[in-house]
């Protein structure tokens, strides 16, 4: 019998009953990891030396999981999927990983990402492209591509991700699983390679809302090593998961969801938006109210540029420590400057270099006011608007992206002008640090699509209540990727 395609509680019960041992789970998980690696390239490293651990009352004890390769793991290669750190073995572990270690969880592999989390395609890792287990010709989205692929394929019940713009929640949608980014600072980011510190979140990819709740309960907590963390001891996601959602008030943004705004809509986009409308009906059947709210189109249009300016500026600054002297392979040259230039020129992919150029430009003294500070101001306007709406509503519900996973080799499938906001609105969750979760929302062209729920800061329990109720009304819980027949 197989166990790695089950949920955490079922696996825990099987362990407790002695139906299976932790060591056997590790073997099953490693075998599956190797089986999918050739087709998906989900892993930078598979931890073949992993051993089973004692089973305690902790739900996560003895159970395998995956770690995105931008989390530092002591004594284990941690590359961030970048050539600049291709040989980097940290001497400490990220707090989130240590918190899971305390529960007796067993890491099985380090998963592939878009280099340093910068990207949304899963195509920029130094070890190559990540393929979607539903259809190997399609992308997983990114940047938590390997985590999404491996969880969807049934290597283990969950894997860690990070999310700066949508990097947990978009790949989750493309792979037919759950992706949850809790409120900013609920999980310590100590030991997570920083991308854009004011937007970066740790989180999880799993196959059910329940599993996401269990894992984040274990990962979260105040950490003196990350001053943005806050005391969440009063938040019990798993314990409070099943609260009744009757009377809960949801809203969606009309400009994003209205099919009339997409005159050139593809069949897939039309289907995707129909699925979304059907889900709104389900929300009403569950006793929630749903209203369409109109947002200033100027604010919506500003989303992608605000994101680009802030994230590139912060990334440029954060990654100035990558010189090739302290970490990574040393560059060659006659002096410090030459060596650093050689290391950075050879090490970073073109996408990252472009982002550093944007970041440096907007941070230049003469440009700061016009670009960087203005982006901050518009970010504030967007967050204030959302906070105002969250005084009236409990949650924002929106479709994820413009349809199912895109083909890897179809240039016409890149983000289109018309659907930009549909592709980028999840960034709102990062601008405000809002708790945000994607769950599967059925199929379009036999491929999974997702729906997202975002709530006000610190309202993680409520957001998960909504997601849990909705998930229970649909049939996609614990969904494992089935290769589509063409």
Shortest Cβ 334–ligand GLN spacing (Å) = 36
Active site residue 86: no
Cβ–Cβ under 8 Å, residues 210 and 242: no
Nearest-approach distance from CB 135 to ligand GLN, in angstroms: 21
> Nearer to ligand GLN by C-beta: 272 or 355?
355
Smallest distance from ligand GLN to CB 199, Å? 8
Binding site for ligand GLN (CB under 6 A): 117-120, 143, 163-167, 195, 311
- Nearer to ligand GLN by Cβ, of 33 and 309: the residue is 309
Residue 68 catalytic? yes
Residue pair 31/156 in contact by the 8 Å Cβ criterion: no
Nearer to ligand GLN, 420 or 472 (CB): 420
Residue with smaller CB distance to ligand GLN, 79 or 465: 79
One of 81, 143, 144, 232 is an active-site residue; which one?
A: 143
* The 3-state secondary structure of the chain, one letter per residue: CCCCCCCHHHHHHHHHHCCCCHHHHHHHHHHHHHHHHHHHCCEEEECCCCCCCCCCCCCCCCCEEEEECCECECCECCCCCCHHHCCCCCCCCCHHHHHHHHCCCEEEEEECCCHHHCCCCCCCCCCCCCEECCEEEEECCCCCHHHHHHHHHCCCCEEEEEECCCCCHHHHHHHCCEEEECCCCCCCCCCECCCCCCCCEEEEEECCHHHHHHHHHHHCCCCCCCCCCCCCCCCCCCCCCCCCCCCCEEEEEHHHHCHHHCCCCCHHHHHHHHHHHHHHHHHHHCCCEEEEECCCHHHHHHHHHHHHHHHHHHHHHHHHHCCCCCCCCCCCCCCHHHHHHHHHHHHCCHHHHHHHHHHHHHHCHHHHHHHHHHHHHHHHHHHHHHHHHHHHCCEEEEECCCCCCCECCCHHHCCCHHHHHHHHCCHHHHHCCCCEEEEEEEEECCEEEEEEEEECCCCHHHHHHHHHHHHHCCCCCCCCCCCCCC
Q: Which is closer to ligand GLN, CB of 166 or CB of 211? A: 166
Q: How far is the CB of 423 from ligand GLN (least distance, A)?
A: 9
Minimum CB separation of residue 122 from ligand GLN in Å reads: 10
Comparison of 139 and 469: residue with beta carbon closer to ligand GLN? 139
Residue 163 or 210: the one with the smaller Cβ distance to ligand GLN is: 163
* Minimum separation from the CB atom of position 315 to ligand GLN (A): 9
Q: Confirm if 466 and 245 have CB atoms less than 8 A apart.
A: yes
C-beta closer to ligand GLN: residue 12 or 181: 181
* Minimum gap (Å) between residue 143 Cβ and ligand GLN: 4
Answer whether 143's CB lies under 8 Å from 119's CB. Answer: yes
> C-beta of 426: minimal distance to ligand GLN in Å?
8
Residue 119: Cβ-neighbour burial (10 angstroms; 0-12, 13-18, 19+): buried
Q: Is 254 a catalytic residue?
A: no
Q: Which of 68, 110, 170, 220 is catalytic?
A: 68
Is 41 or 143 the residue whose CB approaches ligand GLN more closely? 143
Gap between the Cα atoms of 293 and 68, Å rounded: 36
**Cα 22-24-27 angle, rounded to 5 deg:** 115
- Distance in Å, CB of 115 to ligand GLN, minimum: 10
Q: Which of 82, 167, 206, 402 does the annotation list as catalytic?
A: 167
Q: Could you list the active site residues?
A: 68, 143, 167
């Amino acid at each position: 019998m197989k166990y790695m395609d089950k949920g955490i509680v079922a696996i825990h019960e099987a362990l407790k009953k002695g139906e299976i041992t932790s060591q056997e789970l590790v073997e099953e998980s490693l075998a599956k990891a190797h089986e999918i690696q050739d087709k998906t390239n989900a892993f930078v490293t598979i931890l073949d030396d992993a051993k089973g651990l004692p089973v305690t009352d902790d739900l996560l004890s003895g159970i395998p999981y995956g770690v995105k390769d931008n989390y530092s793991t002591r004594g284990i290669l941690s590359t961030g999927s970048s050539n600049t750190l291709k040989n980097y073995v940290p001497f400490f572990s990220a707090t989130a990983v240590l918190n899971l270690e305390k529960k007796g969880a067993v890491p099985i592999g380090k998963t592939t990402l878009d280099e340093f989390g910068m990207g949304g395609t899963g195509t920029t890792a130094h070890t190559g492209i990540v393929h979607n287990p539903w259809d190997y010709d399609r992308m997983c989205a990114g940047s938590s591509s390997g985590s999404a692929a491996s969880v969807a394929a049934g290597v283990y019940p969950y894997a860690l991700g990070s999310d700066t713009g949508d990097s947990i929640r978009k790949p989750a949608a493309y792979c037919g699983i759950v992706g949850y980014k809790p409120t900013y600072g609920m999980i310590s980011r100590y030991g997570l390679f920083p991308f854009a510190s004011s937007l970066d979140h740790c989180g999880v990819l799993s196959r059910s809302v329940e599993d996401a709740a269990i894992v984040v309960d274990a990962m979260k907590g105040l950490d003196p090593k990350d001053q943005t963390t806050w005391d969440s001891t009063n938040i019990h996601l798993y314990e409070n998961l099943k609260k009744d959602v009757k009377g809960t008030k949801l809203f969606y943004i009309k400009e994003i969801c209205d099919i009339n705004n997409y005159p050139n809509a593809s069949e897939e986009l039309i289907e995707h938006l129909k699925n979304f409308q059907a889900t709104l009906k389900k929300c009403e059947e569950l006793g929630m109210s749903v209203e369409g709210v109109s947002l200033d189109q100027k604010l919506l249009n500003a989303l992608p540029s605000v994101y680009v300016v802030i994230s590139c500026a912060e990334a440029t600054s954060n990654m100035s420590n990558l010189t090739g002297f302290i970490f990574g392979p040393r560059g060659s040259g006659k002096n410090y400057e030459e060596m650093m230039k050689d290391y950075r020129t050879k090490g970073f992919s073109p996408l990252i270099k472009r982002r550093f150029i944007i970041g440096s430009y907007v941070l230049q003294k003469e440009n700061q006011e016009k670009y960087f500070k203005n982006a901050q101001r518009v970010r504030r306007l967007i967050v204030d608007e959302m906070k105002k709406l969250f005084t009236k509503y409990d949650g924002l519900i929106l479709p994820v992206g413009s349809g199912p996973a895109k083909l890897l080799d179809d240039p016409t499938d890149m983000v289109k002008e018309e659907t930009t906001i549909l592709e980028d609105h999840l960034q709102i969750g990062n601008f405000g640090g809002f708790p945000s979760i994607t769950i599967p929302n059925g199929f379009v062209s036999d491929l999974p699509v997702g729906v997202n729920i975002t709530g006000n800061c610190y309202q993680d329990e409520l957001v998960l209540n909504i997601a849990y109720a909705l998930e229970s009304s649909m049939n996609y819980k614990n969904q494992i990727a089935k290769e589509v027949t063409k």
